[in-house]
């Protein structure tokens, strides 16, 4: 708030003051008052008005500056009415009541959206559980009744792909949820990774892939949610498979290191690698990069989800890569 603008906006007061001075002076003139008396009356009126206006200005300035500063200091600005002090003046009471109303309406609105997004999430979760049942049943039917033609048709692989996408939808719903729905405990990395590799054997064996998990059985305690971590690592392994080099057989190595006192799981492949300029953007939603555009269908969702889930689990995730040599994804616990 500044004073000159205040004066401009309170022009009526100034006009009233001038009007008073002029009329009083005219009156004094007609009754034959002395010049010094006229100046004295004019000056005292002017001083009186100025002081009144300045005091009023200070009062308003204190009130608005206080609200302004508190708002600036707040992370959630709509909560400013909660920290405002009651000064007892009419202006501050009215301001407070308006801000309170705004806050209530805001939180109702937010609650509405939150309920909506929770409902969506619950629905997706239920849907995923339901769709897994016919997938299971189909898989059993192929196993029990499928002959050689069915086995060679790749039907089972297609089912596996469906399952992969369904799982991704589930974790997508989980990733943006406000509620904590994971469960941190000590996890067995070796077991998790073995499960992931076993699951992808149908893809990895024909690729003549070699798997190195020798260094994982260690004494180190890793705290995480096993199922979430399994999904994250699964996405990374899927990327390694997708971006395997055509010049050599895929080699996947999993090993633990320690950096700044944190345990780091390294997932290394010898695939096509990434351009160094593209690495910082790899975790962005929808980013497909040069590799993603050459022939391999990339949605730009996998790594984005990994990053989001890692953030929720309070892990960090980073990529190191050399184009043409391979990629190392690091998960820091």
Partner 1 sequence: MYRIGILEDDLKIGSELKLFLEKNGYEAEFITPDRYAGIKEDKMTDLLLDADLSLLLLDISLPGFDGIRICKSFRERTGVPVIMITSDNSELTELMSIQNGADDFVPKPFNTRILLARIESVLRRVYSNTNASDTKSVHTAGKSFTVDMSKGKIASESGEETELTKNEFHILKLLIAEQGKIVSRDKIMEELWDNEAFVDDNTLTVNMTRLKGKLEQIGISDAITTKRGMGYLLN
Does 267 bind partner 1 (CB under 8 A)? Our answer is no
- State the residue for tokens 């260094």: 215
- Which helix (H) or strand (E) segment holds residue 318: the answer is strand 316-322
Cα 113 to Cα 109: distance, rounded to the nearest angstrom: 6
Of 54-62, 95-103, 181-189, 240-248, which segment contacts partner 1 by CB under 8 A? 181-189
Q: How far is the CB of 194 from partner 1 (least distance, A)?
A: 4
Q: Own/partner pairs for 94-98, CB < 8 Å, 24+ apart?
A: 95/63, 95/67
Q: Which residues from 223-262 bind partner 1, rule CB under 8 A?
A: 225-228
Closer to partner 1 by Cβ: residue 163 or 320? 163
Give 286's Cβ-side CA count (13 Å radius): 0
Stretch that binds partner 1, among 220-228, 264-272, 284-292, 299-307 (CB under 8 A): 220-228
Region binding partner 1 by CB under 8 A among candidate stretches 27-35, 76-84, 110-118, 201-209: 201-209
Q: How far is the CB of 210 from partner 1 (least distance, A)?
A: 4
Site string for partner 1, 95-134 (x = CB under 8 A): ---------------------------------xxx-xx-
Under the criterion CB under 8 A, does residue 201 sit at the interface with partner 1?
yes
Instruction: Choose which of 169, 211, 264, 318 interacts with partner 1 (CB under 8 A).
Output: 211
The number of C-alpha atoms within 13 Å of 327 and in the hemisphere containing its C-beta is 24
> DSSP assignment, residue 280?
G
Measured between alpha carbons, how far is 166 from 172 in angstroms, rounded to an integer? 10
| Comparison of 21 and 216: residue with beta carbon closer to partner 1 | 216
Q: CB–CB of 320/328 below 8 Å?
A: yes
The values of phi and psi at residue 142, to 5°, are: -60, -45
The β-bridge partners of 331 are 265, 317
Q: Does 302 bind partner 1 (CB under 8 A)?
A: no
* Residues at the site binding partner 1, with contacts judged by CB under 8 A: 128-130, 132-133, 135-137, 139-141, 143-144, 159, 163, 181-183, 185, 194, 197-199, 201-202, 204-206, 208-211, 213, 225-228
């Amino acid at each position: 708030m500044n004073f000159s603008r205040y004066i401009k906006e309170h022009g009526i007061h100034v006009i009233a003051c001038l009007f008073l001075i002029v009329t009083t002076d005219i009156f004094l003139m007609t009754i034959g008052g002395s010049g010094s008396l006229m100046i004295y009356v004019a000056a005292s009126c002017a001083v009186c008005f100025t002081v009144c206006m300045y005091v009023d200005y200070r009062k308003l300035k204190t009130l608005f500056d206080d609200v302004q500063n508190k708002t600036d200091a707040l992370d959630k600005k709509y909560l400013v009415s909660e920290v405002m002090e009651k000064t007892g003046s009419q202006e501050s009471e009215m301001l407070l009541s308006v801000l309170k109303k705004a806050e209530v309406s805001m939180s109702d609105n937010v609650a509405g959206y939150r309920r909506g997004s929770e409902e969506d999430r619950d629905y997706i979760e239920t849907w995923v559980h339901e769709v897994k049942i016919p997938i299971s049943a189909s898989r059993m039917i192929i196993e029990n009744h499928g002959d050689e033609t069915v086995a060679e048709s790749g039907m089972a692989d297609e089912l596996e792909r469906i399952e992969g996408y369904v799982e991704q939808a589930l974790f997508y719903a989980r990733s943006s949820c406000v509620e904590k729905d994971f469960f941190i405990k000590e996890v067995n990395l070796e077991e998790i990774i073995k499960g992931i590799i076993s699951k992808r054997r149908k893809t990895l064996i024909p690729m003549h892939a070699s798997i190195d998990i020798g260094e994982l059985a260690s004494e180190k305690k890793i705290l995480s949610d096993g199922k979430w971590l399994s999904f994250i690592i699964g996405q990374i392994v899927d990327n390694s498979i997708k971006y395997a080099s055509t010049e050599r057989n895929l080699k996947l190595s999993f090993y633990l290191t320690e950096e700044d006192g944190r345990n780091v799981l390294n997932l290394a492949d010898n695939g096509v690698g990434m351009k160094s300029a593209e690495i910082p953007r790899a975790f962005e939603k929808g980013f497909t990069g040069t590799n993603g555009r050459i022939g391999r269908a990339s949605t730009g969702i996998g790594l984005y989800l990994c990053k989001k889930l890692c953030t929720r689990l309070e892990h960090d995730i980073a990529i190191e890569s050399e184009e043409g040599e391979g990629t190392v994804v690091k998960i820091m616990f």
